[in-house]
């Protein structure tokens, strides 16, 4: 009898999401608090990230060179000043 193929998770908890991005879990938590990080979901009392949201946020930081302005910005995990764009 064939075994069902293992499913790829659609959502990652903070430690796994941080590892996917190459960040510490604490940095990802700070991004969440300051509103500078990837979109997340609250399922019950648990915070999870879709792989799609993580990849889209990381894509904002893609550059071809140091002079490439890129299409977006991955802000640092700091408070956003009033009046500044995200």
Quick one: pLDDT at residue 1? Answer: 61
CB distance 12 to 52 below 8 Å: no
- Both tokens of 37, joined, read 């990080």
Quick one: pLDDT at residue 84? Answer: 56
What angle, rounded to 10 degrees, do the helices at 25-34 and 14-21 form? 100
Q: Residue 31 burial by CB count (10 A; 0-12/13-18/19+): exposed, middle or buried?
A: buried
Determine which helix (DSSP H) or strand (DSSP E) holds 24, and give its type and residue range: none
CB distance 57 to 39 below 8 Å: yes
pLDDT tens per residue, the chain (86 residues)?
677 777 777 999 999 999 999 999 999 999 999 999 999 999 999 999 999 999 999 999 888 898 888 878 888 888 877 665 54
């Amino acid at each position: 009898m064939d075994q069902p193929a293992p499913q790829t998770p659609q959502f990652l908890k903070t430690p796994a999401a941080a590892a996917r991005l190459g960040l510490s879990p604490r940095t990802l938590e700070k991004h969440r608090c300051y509103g500078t990080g990837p979109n997340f979901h609250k399922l019950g009392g648990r915070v999870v990230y879709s792989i799609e949201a993580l990849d889209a946020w990381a894509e904002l930081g893609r550059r071809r060179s140091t002079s490439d302005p890129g299409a977006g910005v991955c802000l640092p995990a700091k408070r956003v000043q009033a009046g500044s764009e995200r």
